[in-house]
Amino acid sequence: MRLHLKIWRQKNSQTSGKFVDYDVDGVVSDMSFLEMLDILNDSLSKKNEEPVTFDHDCREGICGSCGFMVNGLAHGGVPKTTVCQLYMRNFKDGDTVTVEPWRAQSFPVIKDLAVNRTAFDRIIASGGYISSTVGSATDGNTLPIPRPIAESAFDAAACIGCGACVAACKNASAMLFVSAKVTQMALLPQGQVERAERVEAMVAAMDEEKFGSCTNEAECSAVCPKGISFKTITRMNSEFIRANIFGSGNGE
């Protein structure tokens, strides 16, 4: 398979970038998108040209390191798929494929397709923790948590923080990411101590990082590789209202 690539090249966030055209031969349908980029970079290195920079780590859809826009869609548009799990069987011989980084003020470009997502880390640091000692697995199993609540918490905890939700939103909102991190702990007994402070602190940190507001168009959940539901944002809004009404130290 032969592909024509239009890849965004940018030295750093202080310089302007541009699309550069490349042709890649020998692409096999069972390759992942990142493996295809590896072939491109090998060919560039052999010609003493600068390889394309992109983030990756586990290449198993777990770590959340990889991520960029493929033909205008986060992670390539295949449902519940990270770009490292996007296979070349989704493309045809001779296709032109446009590749560019996440576009968001809060995700400045580091180089080429790699962006700085430490804004997410600062949001987590503001309140994404618990102070209670959870004990061993046996102790944890003694806590009576109804199965629907446990499953909802695990569904939210599946978020890998890749940033696709921000890139897909026209306002560059981080509401889906923050709501997943708030929800996963708000539903469980261990997360009750900081429940009110957590949502207030994380929402404040999100605003401080200059992420945009949510306008309820749900592009975020549509591109989420872990299928985080848009309803998670509704839950976070409820948590925020609860915190403002009851404050800390008050029960339901």
pTM above 0.85, yes or no: yes
Q: What residues does CATH 1.10.1060.10 cover in the chain?
A: 118-246
Q: What pLDDT, in 10s, does the model give residues 48-104? A: 999 999 999 999 999 999 999 999 999 999 999 999 999 999 999 999 999 999 999
| Start-to-end CA span in the chain (Å) | 59
User: Is 1.10.1060.10 the CATH classification of the domain at 118-246?
Assistant: yes
Taking the C-alpha atoms of 168, 172, 178 and 179 in order, what is their torsion angle to the nearest 10 degrees? Answer: -60
Q: What pLDDT, in 10s, does the model give residues 173-232? A: 999 999 999 999 999 888 888 999 999 999 999 999 999 999 999 999 999 999 999 999
Q: What is the pLDDT of residue 137?
A: 62
Q: What is the pLDDT of residue 247?
A: 73
Neighbours of 227 (CB within 10 A): 12
Q: Is 134 helix (H, G, I), strand (E, B) or coil?
A: coil
Q: What residues does CATH 3.10.20.30 cover in the chain?
A: 3-111
DSSP label at residue 51: P
Q: What pLDDT, in 10s, does the model give residues 143-179? A: 788 889 999 999 999 999 999 999 999 999 999 999 9
pLDDT above 90 (res 130): no
- For residue 23, give both structure tokens: 């042709």
pLDDT above 80 (res 19): yes
Please name the residue that has the structure tokens 């069972």. 30
CB 173 within 8 A of CB 211: yes
pLDDT category at 24 given cuts 50, 70, 90 is: very high
Residue 26 makes CB contacts below 8 A (sequence gap 6+) with 1, 39
Instruction: Kindly give the residue spans of alpha helices, DSSP state H, lying in 61-136.
Output: 118-127
More confident residue, 18 or 131: 18
- For residue 64, give both structure tokens: 């959340």
Q: What is the pLDDT of residue 252?
A: 44
| Phi-psi sector, 172: left (phi>0), alpha (psi -120 to 50), beta | left
Please name the residue that has the structure tokens 């966030």. 13
| Sign of torsion over alpha carbons 158, 162, 163, 165 | negative
Q: What is the pLDDT of residue 139?
A: 64
Distance CA 73, CA 219 (A): 10
Looking at the DSSP bridge assignments, the partners of residue 22 are 5
Residue 217 makes CB contacts below 8 A (sequence gap 6+) with 169, 170
Q: What is the pLDDT of residue 251?
A: 43
Rounded to 5, what percent of the chain is helix, strand, coil?
40, 15, 45
Report CA 177 to chain centroid distance, whole Å: 7
Give me the mean pLDDT over the 5-24 stretch: 97
Neighbours of 133 (CB within 10 A): 7
pLDDT category at 138 given cuts 50, 70, 90 is: low
Distance CA 240, CA 69 (A): 32
Q: What is the pLDDT of residue 135?
A: 65
pLDDT category at 250 given cuts 50, 70, 90 is: very low
Say which CATH class 3-111 falls into: alpha beta
